[in-house]
A and B are shown apart, each in its own frame.
Chain A
């Protein structure tokens, strides 16, 4: 269905269901209970899940298929954010032109950077993309924000001011980002017993776009084009000797993944109309690499899982403080309680990056295929099939349908 085989269609349905029912699924604990702090079903966080999901899906098209490790993808995220806010400033708060422009500009950016960077491969490619991204960061942070020519508004971040033209803005429209009059912040709250569920317009817009992006990535993975990209990864030289010029294909993959990143950046601005240069910093590029690896490089669902997990940790782990820890370990005798709190303390709250680093190292060391490989291993325990057999089965499934 939809040009997908049965297996992929099931996967797509799962993603659709997860995305649409997220407000329920991420809110399993009743309001006011001790576990309520683990709820992730509030709009801000859910928006981040799907937006960074798009970012990681796009990154995976480049890294997962061609094996080119770009350390500068955050540049496209930033470009997308800035373009979207500029559309808000010039045309008004409707998000559609902003999102379209952010895809377009980041595509152009990705083309220019890609043409240059893809002349090299391996670590050189990583360093080139890193250099370009750091350059864009420096440009956005200081150079392009002088009084004569203020494109990015520097440290403050680009935002909409009341004296901006906003040509298409009419009196009846909300004064916040909206989709043809429907405010992105509009939230419908549903009280169901002790549970409270929030349905947010911004989230659902992002979720629908994420599902579309996911569908597109399945089609790319299963297409002859995707096959070609995989061939680049497995043996570029042989491709070259067979008389195929691989560069247009890798360039196309680079531009597509850059456009995904731009789309994610545009959506970030659409839900919160403020674009700052720190989105382009290399730590942001590192983050998307982590998400993709954590979920499973080269798998379809992996990046979505990875981005969800990292953003969840970032938000939930960083909220846990000592008093919460004390309440968790209160069942232990006093000395033990303090001891456990001391042990766990460095890993939560402000130290959640430490957890992230440790988790990341463990994943790279023991599960190079990420969470998806972990899932397969567990499945293998039950079905009795070895990993190799499963990989074989997966490979058979992944032959293009066309």
Chain B
């Protein structure tokens, strides 16, 4: 029983990332009808927002302390980050420590503007072109984005730690009545899950309870009629693209402490997120979220020793296997609607 709970918890953090990326993909697909292969790259850019901020905070200047020597006998050089210099040592080190959560604030405007620029600058011209062209141009864009990041940040993963308070693990066992230390789980991953639940809730609430969201939903159902009613639906959809980019970006920012970001992390997630979207049903937002968590949890169950000894390598192929089975038995995915992408 404790093992089962542990695996469900393990699945949640990957599932959250899948769900957030898939949610953004579905938002873009549902509103603009574009299959965005650059969405993984946006996720990666989000993670690099966190990296950039922590790098900016740790830019430091050198002072030479004549009284001390380093192990070679030279005068000791002390690196002091500028933030510590400006805000005092305590505040400064706290800023450095909290760079990942702070990057959330910093990344939202950046990601929204990246999304809007992408939509206005490139994707706008592809609405009337076939889906294959959209896939290809966004695929090209993804290559360009990831190569630019590779050029500036290098090919190696860059560790970006979470704040000290959140390092370490949380013991669920006493709460659930098991022996101590049978269900322990890193705190940051719990936060990641809570954060993504919050974002998903916010997106749904935004669509459900605001006038803007109502117009967007109406536009998803019948774009032409909404346009005829005198609403500038294109502008609203552009903003939705920005929001979708921000959702993926935030998923990336928060994911940075879990896995050190590298330039191809977006592509790795993209392939799986597409599988998630298709399993959930193209164009269905709840479907994308549900499928994201479902596949994340399935993947973590398949990685247990029991599963891998019974069927070797099951952890590598489980997601694809499930996707194939679902697509063949339920062609529209779990919650897909009729008439979406069925040309």
Where the two chains meet, the residues of A that have a C-beta atom closer than 8 Å to any C-beta of B are: 67, 69, 116, 119-124, 126-128, 130-132, 134-135, 138-139, 141-144, 146, 282-283, 286, 289, 293, 346, 351, 353-354, 356-358, 360-361, 364-365, 368
Contacts and interface: CB of A to CB of B under 8 A. Distances in A.
Contacts of A122: 131, 341-343
A356 B142 CA distance: 12
Given A354-B143, A357-B147, 11 more contacts: A67-B132, A120-B331, A124-B278, A130-B274, A130-B275, A131-B323, A142-B316, A346-B147, A360-B140, A364-B140, A368-B129
Interface in B133-182: 133, 135-137, 139-144, 147-148, 150-151
Contact of B151 (A142, A146, A346, A360): A346
B151 A351 contact: yes
**Among B137, B150, B282, B320, residue most surrounded by chain A Cβ atoms (within 10 Å):** B320
A106 to B, nearest CB: 19
B153 to A, nearest CB: 13
A128 B324 contact: yes
Contacts of A364: 133, 136-137, 140
- Tell me if A's interface is mostly helix, strand, loop or mixed: helix
Nearest to A69: B132
Contacts of B148: 346, 354
Contact-size category for B: 35 or more
The residue among A116, A121, A127, A134 with the most chain B CB atoms within 10 A of its own CB is A127
27 contacts: A69-B135, A121-B343, A122-B343, A123-B35, A123-B135, A123-B278, A124-B282, A127-B327, A128-B323, A130-B271, A130-B275, A131-B320, A131-B324, A138-B313, A141-B316, A142-B313, A143-B312, A146-B312, A286-B139, A293-B136, A346-B151, A353-B147, A354-B143, A360-B139, A361-B137, A361-B144, A364-B140
Given A138-B316, A139-B317, A126 B140 contact: no
A368 to B, nearest CB: 6
Contact of B275 (A131, A353, A360): A131
Nearest to B282: A123
A35 B143 CA distance: 29
A354 B275 contact: no
A219 B236 CA distance: 50
Interface in B231-287: 267, 271, 274-275, 278, 282
A120 B323 CA distance: 13
B321 interface: yes
Nearest to B137: A364
Q: Which of A116, A144, A293, A364 has the most CB of B within 10 A?
A: A364
A120 B327 contact: yes
Nearest to B264: A283
A138 B317 contact: yes
A289 to B, nearest CB: 7
B328 interface: yes
Contacts of A124: 278, 282, 327, 331, 341
A320 B129 CA distance: 36
A282 B139 CA distance: 12
Contacts, number: 109
B132 A119 contact: no
B151 A365 contact: no
Contacts of A120: 327, 331
Nearest to B272: A134
Contacts of B131: 122-123
A249 to B, nearest CB: 18
A107 B84 CA distance: 65
A132 B320 contact: yes
A123 B316 contact: no
A330 B140 CA distance: 33
A117 to B, nearest CB: 9
Contact of A361 (B135, B141, B321, B341): B141
A43 to B, nearest CB: 29
A128 B122 CA distance: 27
A343 to B, nearest CB: 12
Interface in B286-343: 312-313, 316-317, 320-321, 323-324, 327-328, 331, 341-343
Nearest to B145: A357
A351 B137 contact: no
Given A67-B132, A368-B133, A357 B140 contact: yes
A127 B313 contact: no
A399 B156 CA distance: 54
A156 to B, nearest CB: 17
Contacts of B327: 120, 124, 127-128
A126 B323 CA distance: 12
B271 A134 contact: yes
B313 A143 contact: yes
B275 to A, nearest CB: 6
Contacts of A119: 328, 331
Contacts of B129: 368
Given A122-B343, A135-B317, A354-B148, A282 B271 contact: yes
Interface string B22-50: 00000000000001000000000000000
A172 B282 CA distance: 61
B342 A127 contact: no
Q: Which of A144, A289, A361, A368 has the most CB of B within 10 A?
A: A361
Contacts of B342: 122
A266 to B, nearest CB: 25
A267 to B, nearest CB: 27
Interchain residue pairs A-B with the least CB separation, the first 6: A143-B313, A357-B143, A138-B316, A354-B147, A361-B140, A357-B144
Contacts of B137: 361, 364-365
B323 A127 contact: yes
Contacts of A351: 147, 150-151
Contacts of A126: 135
A245 B150 CA distance: 48
Contacts of B316: 135, 138-139, 141-143
Given A346-B151, A354-B147, A357-B144, A135 B320 contact: yes
B256 to A, nearest CB: 23
